[in-house]
Amino acid sequence: MRQGEPTVFVRLAGCDRRCSFCDTKYAWEAGRDWTVRQILDRVQRIRRDYPASWVCLTGGEPFMQDVRLLVRLLKKDHWLVQTETNGTRYYPTAADWITVSPKPIEYLVRTEFQRLAKEVKLVATRELDLAVVRRIRRAFQKRIPILLQPESNRRWSQKRSLRLLKEATAAGLDNIRVSVQLHKVFGLR
């Protein structure tokens, strides 16, 4: 839903899912320890060259760390904050936008996120099927869009997303959309 808005991404290390299709496997365990102040300083430097209003905390899995102080200080510094989570861990934060991206096989999501999410992103893997899309649609309010995102820019993955969209629409599921990772399309880092 926020696709295309200028955003500074803060990738946090650590993940509890280990998905085979993960495009950031290096974030599972590797990484450097940064203080909240170091992160804030880096984000501000990036903002000088690339004006943005949003910061997205992503991973790995950001909720494996306590990001509450970071979120509060980013907001104090007039940032809008998005967190992107797999939905398996929860604690309250002051984030402005929560993207939940449940992962296979179980596609588990904490009930708190079912209420708080602004969008749900499902990676259109070879295993994702209409039954999962239907279950996720039932778990979230209809006003919350379900985004089908190709696993990659490969043609099979794009076709899979479109086929799932067609099946979901034919099945009467509301507010299902296709999304792409623009940074991959445009070759951005």
pTM score = 0.92
153 shares a domain with 72: no
53 shares a domain with 136: no
| Segments forming the whole domain that contains residue 76 | 1-99
Mean pLDDT within 54-77: 95
Mean pLDDT within 170-181: 93
107 located within any domain: no
Q: So what's the pLDDT on residue 84?
A: 95
Among the candidates 70, 99, 128, a domain finishes at: 99
pLDDT tens-digit map of 23-60: 766 666 777 889 999 999 999 999 999 999 999 999 88
- In the structure, what pLDDT confidence band is assigned to residue 124 with cuts at 50, 70 and 90? very high
105 located within any domain: no
92 shares a domain with 155: no
80 located within any domain: yes
148 shares a domain with 93: no
38 shares a domain with 75: yes
133 shares a domain with 63: no
pLDDT tens-digit map of 176-187: 999 977 666 656
Higher pLDDT, residue 146 or 25: 146
- For residue 176, the tally of other CB atoms under 10 A from its CB is 22
* Sequence-separated (6 or more) residues with CB below 8 Å from residue 51: 6
169 shares a domain with 139: yes
Record the tokens describing residue 96, joined without a space. 């402005």
For the chain, what is the domain count? 2
Mean pLDDT within 77-101: 96
The C-alpha atoms of residue 54 and residue 90 are separated, in whole angstroms, by 21
**Residue 25: burial class (beta carbons within 10 Å; 0-12, 13-18, 19+):** middle
**pLDDT beyond 80 at 18:** no
165 located within any domain: yes
83 shares a domain with 141: no
